[in-house]
Amino acid sequence: MSARRGDPPAAWRARLERRVLAPLARTGWRYRLWILFLVAVVAWAVFAYSRQLGRGLIVTGMRDRISWGLYIASFVFFIGISHAGTLLSAILRVSRATWQMSITRMAEFITVVALLVAGLFPFIDLGRPDRVFNLVRFGRWQSPLLWDIFAITTYLTGSLIYLLIPLVPDFALCRDRLGQEAPRWKRRFFRAAAVGWEGSPGQQWRLHRAMKIMAVLIIPIAVSVHTVVSWIFAMTLRVPFNSTVFGAYFVAGAIYSGIAAIILLMAVLRRVLHLEEYITRTQFVNLGYLLAALSGVMMYFNLSEYVTSGYKMEAGVAFQFRQLMTGSFAPLFWLYAFGGLLAPALVILFRRTRTIPGIITASVLVVVTMWIERYFLVVSGFRVPLMPYAPASYAPTWIEWSVLAGAFALFALIVSVVVKLLPVVSVWEVTEQEEWERPAEVVQERGWAPAAVSPSSGGEP
Amino acid sequence: MDTGVGPDGEAAEATGESRVPRRGFLRSLVAWGAGIAAVGVGVPEANALRQGTRAAGTAAAATGTRLRRWAMVIDLRRCDGCQAIDEPPRCTQACIQGHLAPEPMQWIEVYEAPLPGGGTQFIPSPCMQCQNPPCVNVCPVGATFSTPEGIVLVDQMRCIGCRICMEACPYDRRFFNWGSPPIPREAALTEYSAEHEVPAIRGTVMKCEFCPDLARGGRRPYCSQACPNGCIYYGDLEEDLATNGREVVRLSRFLSKNTAFRLKEELGTDPRVFYIPGYGQDVGRSPYRRGLKRILWPWRRVAAGSERWGR
Ligand code: SF4
Ligand code: SF4
């Protein structure tokens, strides 16, 4: 962040504002083309889904014995992607780290978007979407599906608040700085969104207070969400799902894939929006270390799960163990084990490959293989025969793949649109931090005083 | 968006079955807002059938009449998978025809299981009517429910097709209408009831419902009636009697003296279906004679515009 520490603070700050606010004012043809492409993919998915609506779930590859498939696996995956953003930002805020200031906004943002997309899948998977209102009329709190609904809506609300609170000063900045170049409706939007922020000490105090409370609240909520998602599996008697470690395992996997997703989004936005000065190797490497640590946690969970079950080879467990290790899921499983757990960790641990491109490559591997892991976890679990019959098989149809493609496109679409509406870097926080880090003499020499509230004092009056 | 709008909603309207009193509906809305704890309170006893069965329960309690506790005993010593008559298992066929079950559903399915010393045994498997039913526990809308008589039913008018119950059932005894099931003409005329799941509805779950409607009329379930060897006993744990149509047995003694067992006892599902170990020896089957004939869904030829799918 302090790459150009020699700059006078005013110039530094002006450049930051210019860089961050630029995309809010102008839109290029390349952007429009990109949006058009995404809309087309989403439209295709909607068409595929309308086929499913018309003919029923028979158009999917799911049948009685493997009755959940790609949809539910993708649901778990997107919930996982949503996981790291808010959690990471909250943990780092609570522990008063500062290196992440320039990426917290993106991290929190990814949570909200991924949750919105994830929430669609259970409904897409319903056999009778026209009766979805029955969940309200007859909802039973004893059902893990209801827990999911409560957990996800709570998390979504919490993450939205947590995203919006620190946005207020930046909306005010947009209101004050965006000139005639921005369209009128945008200026109106920023005026409304800034909710009268003037930066007075009272407002500052309330802002920091609210952020602190939310940061502490959001951590247990985030952990509970993925635990509850794992319980739609772990609350059943199916052999591979019937495990006490499932919640923790899902949470770890969620943070793992979530961090990788943050790195990817960071890499893209840094490139597209020219944020190289603020998102530097520091952010990549620090997140990379976290990724490597989580990969260690995941290896540990896998090891303790498969070694303990594989050693005893209980009846159903043995089937599951064999189909993963040597059977029909072996290619996916080993791709995940080596390509998704070992390889990313190695890339990050070796100094030679611990570069920005190296870390991006590791993140791509993690995101792809974590989807694969969710997929084979769900499908292989259902494939274990419950009675003496030959194991069933499942292959997603083009409808299911199209819907999945549409989900990714929708994710990218929301990100692309919102990037034009809010500053992707928290300008005021980055400024505060920069000012805090400046040596005091320099500040005095230039006759410039630090802001009234500094991040590490937490804003207490 | 509620059931009143869907194509089946009209059916529901007609039979008056899943109508909710307006007050109950509002109550549930309020409860939804109030959060987890309140929802339990807010679930209205909306389903007429459910109210009916519950009312039956309280009436029985009030008048001192005992409540039926239906149970089934399957004597595997007499099941030869219908090899002797060279037909597909008659129990399955009768169930399919009685319930007009869509292909490929076999609510009672005869599995051929290997014996430890080689050879096989046949295990006809209906829904086990668990008394601690995992499927009922997980259903988010209460479409799967236990009756006071101890039977687990599915209300296809309420089911939203989430299929978590299929995940939860440890016996693979639940079936889903993936496409538009074949509905023979006679099915279209039948009035729907959760005790007799006809006609089948796309996007909902179905399974063996233990034929309580037949039992109340003094008849045994279709499968029991159809078995040529009298291998399926049906009865009432409360009266402690069961019959296969040829003999009446005292249920508790019959189970104990023949060392009856239940499938996957270790899971704690507490099934109402008991088995007496065997491989068809009482009807002269050799354990080494393998194979069942293919099940048929005969009315498919009648039904137009219907679909079928595999397992
Ligand atoms: S599929 Fe139907 S019966 Fe089964 S859990 Fe879902 S709503 Fe209940
Ligand atoms: S056997 Fe399956 S469907 Fe039947 S009651 Fe038990 S869990 Fe439910």
A236 C-alpha to center of ligand 2: Å? 12
What's the B51 CA to ligand 2 centre distance in angstroms?
A: 22
Q: What's A97's domain CATH number?
A: 1.20.1630.10
Which fold is adopted by the domain B12-283? Alpha-Beta Plaits (3.30.70)
**Domain assignment present for A87:** yes
Is residue A3, in this structure, part of any structural domain at all? no
Residue A424, CA distances (Å) to A267, A278, B181 in order: 13, 11, 51
* End-to-end Cα spacing for chain B: 31
- Residue among B167, B139, B165, B135 nearest B151 (CA): B135
DSSP B101: P
Mean pLDDT per 10-residue interval, chain A, length 461 residues: 57 81 79 95 97 94 95 95 86 82 88 95 95 93 93 94 91 82 82 87 91 91 92 92 89 94 92 86 92 95 89 88 93 95 95 93 96 95 94 95 97 92 84 69 43 41 35
Domain of A103 in residue numbering reads as: 9-456
pLDDT of residue A7: 63
Residue range A80-126, pLDDT digits in tens:
999 888 888 888 888 878 788 888 888 899 999 999 999 999 999 99
- Asked if B175's CB is within 8 angstroms of A137's CB, the reply is no
Residues of A with Cβ-Cβ distance to B141 under 8 angstroms: 134-135, 137-140, 143
Rounded to the nearest angstrom, the gap between the alpha carbon of residue B295 and the centroid of all alpha carbons in its chain is: 18
When scoring B164, B176, B180, B273 by the number of chain A Cβ atoms within 10 A, the one with the most, hence best to mutate, is: B164
Could you say which DSSP state residue A336 is in?
Answer: I
Q: How many domains does chain A have?
A: 1
Note the pLDDT of residue A379.
Answer: 96
Q: What is the pLDDT of residue B50?
A: 55
Record: contact B114-A137, CB cut-off 8 A: no
Nearest CA in chain A to B202: A56
Measured CA distances, A88 to A159, B89, B172, B179, B237 (Å): 12, 59, 41, 44, 58
- Choosing from B129, B138, B151 the residue with most ligand 2 atoms within 8 A of its CB, the one to mutate for a pocket test is B129
- Are A138 and B141 in contact (CB < 8 Å)? yes
H or E stretch at B10: helix B7-15
Give how far A416 is from chain B: nearest CA, Å: 32
Spatial contact of B44 and B66, defined as CB atoms under 8 Å apart: no
Q: Where are the beta strands (DSSP E) in B184-225?
A: 205-206
Ligand with smallest separation from the Cα of A68: 1
Q: Closest partner residue to B6 among A130, A233, A382, by Cβ?
A: A130
Q: CA torsion angle for B277, B283, B287, B289 (degrees, to 10)?
A: -140
Distance from the B6 Cα atom to the nearest Cα atom in chain A, whole angstroms: 6
Residue A1, in any domain of the structure: no
For residue B309, CA distances in Å to A62, B103, B181, B306 come to: 10, 7, 9, 10
Q: Which residues contact A39 (CB under 8 A, 6 or more apart)?
A: A413
- Note the pLDDT of residue A54: 92
The token duo for B93 is 């066929």
A-chain residue closest to B178, CA distance: A58
Give distance in angstroms: CA of B173 to centre of ligand 2. 6
Q: Residue A403 domain-assigned?
A: yes
The DSSP element (H or E) to which A260 belongs, if any, is helix A246-272
Token pair 């293919």 is found at B294
* Res A93: pLDDT: 84
A114 touching B (Cβ < 8 Å): no
A&B contacts, CB < 8 Å: 187
Ligand 1 atom index nearest CA of B161: 1
Chain A: closest CA distance from residue B64 (Å): 32
The CB-side HSE value for A69 (13 A sphere, CA atoms) comes to 23
What is Dmax (Cα atoms) for chain A? Answer: 83
Q: How far is the CA of A425 from the centre of ligand 1 (A)?
A: 45
How far apart are alpha carbons A82 and A258 in whole angstroms?
6
Chain B CB contacts of A144 below 8 Å: 138, 164
Tokens standing for residue A103: 């990426």
Q: Which of residues 227-286 of B touch A (CB under 8 A)?
A: 267, 269
Interface test with B, best of A124, A380, A382, A387 (most B CBs within 10 A): A387
Contacts with A130 from chain B: Cβ below 8 Å: 1, 5-6
Query: What confidence score (pLDDT) does residue A95 get?
Result: 82
Query: Which helix H or strand E contains A21, and what residues bound it?
Result: helix A9-25
Q: What stretches in chain B show pLDDT beneath 50?
A: 1-48, 52, 54-62
Q: What are the distances in angstroms from CA A373 to CA A73, A74, A403, B185? A: 9, 10, 19, 46
Answer whether B1 touches A (CB < 8 Å): yes
Bridge partner residues of A141 (DSSP):
none
Scan for tokens 């490497």, then name that residue.
Answer: A285
Helix (H) or strand (E) holding A37: helix A29-55
Pocket test for ligand 2, best of B108, B138, B152, B167 (most atoms within 8 A of CB): B152
Q: What is the pLDDT of residues B139-175, one digit of tens each?
A: 999 999 999 999 999 999 999 999 999 999 999 999 9
Beta pairing class for B70-75 and B273-276: parallel
Those of residues 307-366 in A touching chain B at CB distance below 8 A are none
Best mutation site among B43, B141, B166, B175 for ligand 1 pocket (most ligand atoms within 8 Å of CB) = B141
Q: Is B141 in the pocket of ligand 1 (CB under 6 A)?
A: yes
- Picking from A56, A140, A387, the nearest residue to B141 by CB comes out as A140
* Ligand 2 pocket, residue B128 CB under 6 Å: yes
- Mutation probe of ligand 2 site: the residue of B155, B269, B274 with most atoms within 8 A of C-beta: B269
SS3 A188: helix
Q: How far is the CA of B263 from the centre of ligand 2 (A)?
A: 11
Helices (H) and strands (E) in chain A — how many of each? 18, 0
Structure-block tokens of residue B58 = 């309280």
**Residue A54: inside a domain, yes or no?**
yes
According to DSSP H, which parts of A273-329 are helical? 281-312, 315-325
List A residues 143-162 in contact with B (Cβ-Cβ < 8 A). Answer: 143-147, 150
In angstroms, the CA B194 to CA B200 distance is 11
Is residue A461, in this structure, part of any structural domain at all?
Answer: no
Alpha carbon separation from B97 to B86, B91, B197 (Å, rounded): 19, 10, 12
Contact list, A387 vs chain B (CB under 8 Å): 109, 111, 125, 171-172
Tell me what ipTM this predicted complex has: 0.85
Q: Any chain B CB within 8 A of the CB of A137? A: yes
Please tell me the number of the ligand nearest to residue A144's CA.
Answer: 1
